Amino acid sequence: MTVKTMKIEYATSRPGVRSVDAASWMLPLIGIASLLLGLSISNQSLWIDEGLTAWLASQHGLSGLFHALRVVSETTTQPLEPVYHLYTWEWVKVFGVSEFALRASNIPFAILLVSALAWSSLNLFGVRFAWIVFALSPFLAVYMNEARPYIPLMASVTLSLVALLAYFDNPDKPVKTSCLRTVPPHDLLRIQRLII
């Protein structure tokens, strides 16, 4: 069964959902799911691998951050995610370097992840609430409480997959309703490689 077949079956079995109606119930659900994921963040002390993120984020000045990234890449075998560390470095300048603040840097990516799941569930598969199962997964709640790039990685992979599915759903259709259709899937994969 293809995505197009699923959309046709959904359209014939139930009346279509207008975009205004979808926004009226989808946005509050996205907000609630994001809030629940945000509530899973704690002040628990940092794990050893989160300590590297905290140390890099607390560097003074951009040149200090790049110097620290170079030193870490030369002395360890741990892969570095330069864009993620630049993001957390900027984040702690605004919100502080506490355990909670470091882990709260996952919230914007969680909102992006939940929104991409909701959009694809409705627009690609024609199912209103299937995304909630993934958005409220305990797996996501556990990784929200990590000052590591797990949630940003999940968000970028989800966006890449959704953009690819949206493209294959109708490659000849012009840009219509989604910002996901404005970025070619291969560019999203390039962005994703910087985060990994």
Statement to judge: residues 127 and 186 lie in one domain: yes
Check whether residue 184 and residue 114 sit in a common domain: yes
pLDDT of 7 > 50? The answer is: no
79 and 148 together in one domain: no
Whether residues 114 and 156 share a domain: the answer is yes
Q: Tell me, yes or no, whether 118 and 181 share the same domain.
A: yes
Q: What's the pLDDT band for 86 if we cut at 50, 70, 90?
A: very high
Total domains present in the chain: 2
Task: Give the percent of the chain with pLDDT over 70.
Answer: 74
Contact by Cβ (8 Å): 29, 118: yes
Residues 6+ apart with CB under 8 A from 70: none
Examine the domain organization and report whether 131 and 180 are in the same domain.
Answer: yes
- From CA 107, how far away is CA 86, in angstroms rounded? 16
Helix boundaries (H) for 40-178: 48-57, 62-75, 82-95, 99-104, 107-123, 130-135, 138-144, 150-169
**Which is higher by pLDDT, 161 or 7?**
161
Q: Which of 129-133, 155-159, 171-175, 185-189 is predicted most confidently? A: 155-159
Q: Is the dihedral of CA 187, 188, 194, 196 positive or negative?
A: negative
Are 13 and 53 in the same domain?
A: no
Indicate the residue among 73, 89, 104 that finishes a domain: 104
Q: Which band of pLDDT confidence, cut at 50, 70 and 90, is reported for residue 121?
A: confident
Confidence (pLDDT) at 39 = 82
- Greater pLDDT, 193 or 98: 98
Rounded Cα distance, 146 and 150, in Å: 8
Q: pLDDT tens digit string along 16-51?
A: 444 456 667 777 888 888 888 888 888 888 888 888
- C-alpha span between 95 and 103 (Å, rounded): 11
What is the average pLDDT across 55-59? 92
Residues 82 and 141 in one domain: no
pLDDT attached to residue 92: 94
CB atoms within 10 A of CB 4: 12
Task: Supply the pLDDT for residue 14.
Answer: 44
What is the predicted pLDDT for the residue at 23? 63
Based on the fold, state whether residues 111 and 184 are members of the same structural domain: yes
Predicted confidence (pLDDT) at residue 9 exceeds the cutoff of 70: no
Across the chain, mean pLDDT equals 77
Mean pLDDT of 51-64: 91
Range of the structural domain that residue 13 is part of: 3-41+106-195
114 and 34 co-located in one domain: yes
Q: Which of 76, 104, 132 is the last residue of a domain?
A: 104
Residues 37, 69 within the same domain: no
